[in-house]
């Protein structure tokens, strides 16, 4: 069974990331996030309340490295509220007009029965430089559905359409995440669908940029017991902002926050509604990015998120 033999994607991940160890020009990005917009893993199927008092943390460490020719490798580790713990690597072939990528996507430490879960990442991107781009990223466990107690699947799909307007890059994004765990009696699924509009404002030779976003999110917990299949749904309209500061050629810091301006429930949470700040539903984050550049290099920015890869930093 693929879920019980995850060694080969782990070894492949190590092989893809090996060139990073001694290479200059390596970009590194680390992020810490906190939020109260989510469902606790131990949440009961009979719970009809949502207080916003549960706090969740997650984070990531990402790497990116240009290789010979038009190839680039990136990878990292991250903890996500929906997908849980993930390690990934992605090898890309990039030109000015298109990119394709293939790599590994491995769930780690999400189940005692399955300490590692095999998966695959694929990427496609088309671009008219400085004008418009479209990209699609897909991360999927190899098994189609959980097959025994403790087994799980992870899926993520991201579609983006971006275009440049004066000193801004605008993008329309669809991001979906899915995690399903077989607990024996019940299959528990967590999912998130996010439709967003993002504007990144920048100016040449100015050492900072600002991003603003507006999104509709649908967070869902489903308990599949074959009888009542209760669901807990949380819908939110969310505003977000990020400030990215370039403190040198090779070092940057960034911080941002997303806050729900209106939320309402569905399913078991059908009576829940929140307009404003009682409770205030939010996500906040802070991080650093830097580049290990060669002496005399003019490499700038150190933005390890800039790229086409399996980047968990968007929604």
pLDDT tens readout for residues 55-108: 999 999 999 998 888 999 999 999 999 999 999 999 999 999 999 999 999 999
- Element (H or E) spanning 10, and its range? helix 7-17
- 313 falls within a domain: no
**Token pair belonging to 81:** 């509220």
Residue 130 CB burial class (10 angstroms; 0-12, 13-18, ≥19): exposed
What residues does 191 pair with on adjacent strands? 178, 220
Look at the chain and report how many structural domains it folds into.
1
- 314 falls within a domain: no
Are the CB atoms for 234 and 269 separated by under 8 Å? yes
Give the per-residue pLDDT at 69.
83
- For the stretch 105-144, pLDDT in tens is 999 999 989 999 999 999 999 999 999 999 999 999 998 7
Global confidence as pTM: 0.86
**Token pair belonging to 57:** 């943390």
Could you give the CA distance from residue 155 to residue 270 in angstroms, rounded to a whole number?
Answer: 27
- pLDDT, averaged across the chain: 87
Percent of the residues in the chain that have a pLDDT greater than 90, as a whole number: 73
- 311 falls within a domain: no
Are the CB atoms for 214 and 238 separated by under 8 Å? yes
Q: In this structure, what CATH number is given to the domain that contains residue 139? A: 2.40.160.40
- 309 falls within a domain: no
- 190 falls within a domain: yes
- 94 falls within a domain: yes
Are the CB atoms for 182 and 146 separated by under 8 Å? yes
What is the mean predicted confidence (pLDDT) over 247-262? 95
């Amino acid at each position: 069974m693929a879920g019980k033999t995850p060694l080969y994607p782990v070894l492949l991940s190590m092989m893809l990331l090996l060139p990073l160890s001694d290479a200059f020009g390596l970009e590194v990005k680390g992020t810490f996030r906190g939020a109260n917009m989510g469902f606790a893993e131990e949440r009961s199927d009979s719970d009809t309340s949502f207080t916003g008092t549960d706090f969740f943390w997650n984070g990531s460490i990402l790497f990116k490295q240009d290789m010979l020719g038009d190839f680039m490798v990136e990878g990292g580790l991250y903890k996500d509220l929906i997908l849980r713990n993930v390690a990934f690597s992605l090898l890309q072939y990039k030109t000015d007009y298109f990119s394709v990528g293939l790599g590994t996507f491995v769930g780690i430490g999400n189940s005692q029965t399955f300490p590692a879960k095999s998966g695959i990442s694929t990427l496609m991107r088309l671009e008219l430089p400085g004008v418009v781009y479209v990209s699609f990223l897909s991360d999927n466990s190899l098994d189609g559905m959980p097959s025994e107690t403790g087994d799980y699947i992870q899926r993520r799909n991201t579609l983006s359409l971006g275009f440049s307007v004066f000193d801004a890059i605008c993008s329309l994004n669809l991001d979906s995440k899915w995690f399903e765990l077989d607990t024996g009696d019940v299959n528990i699924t967590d999912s998130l669908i996010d439709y967003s509009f993002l504007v990144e404002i920048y100016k040449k030779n100015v050492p900072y940029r600002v991003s603003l976003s507006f999104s509709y999110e649908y967070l869902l917990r489903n308990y599949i017991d074959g009888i009542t299949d209760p669901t807990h749904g949380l819908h939110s309209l969310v505003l977000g902002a990020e400030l990215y500061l370039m403190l040198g050629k090779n070092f940057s810091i960034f911080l941002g926050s997303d806050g729900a301006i209106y939320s309402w429930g569905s399913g078991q949470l059908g009576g829940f509604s929140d307009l404003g700040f009682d409770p205030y539903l939010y996500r906040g984050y802070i991080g650093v990015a830097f580049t290990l550049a060669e002496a005399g290099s003019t490499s700038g920015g150190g933005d390890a998120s800039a790229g086409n890869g399996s980047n968990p930093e968007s929604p």
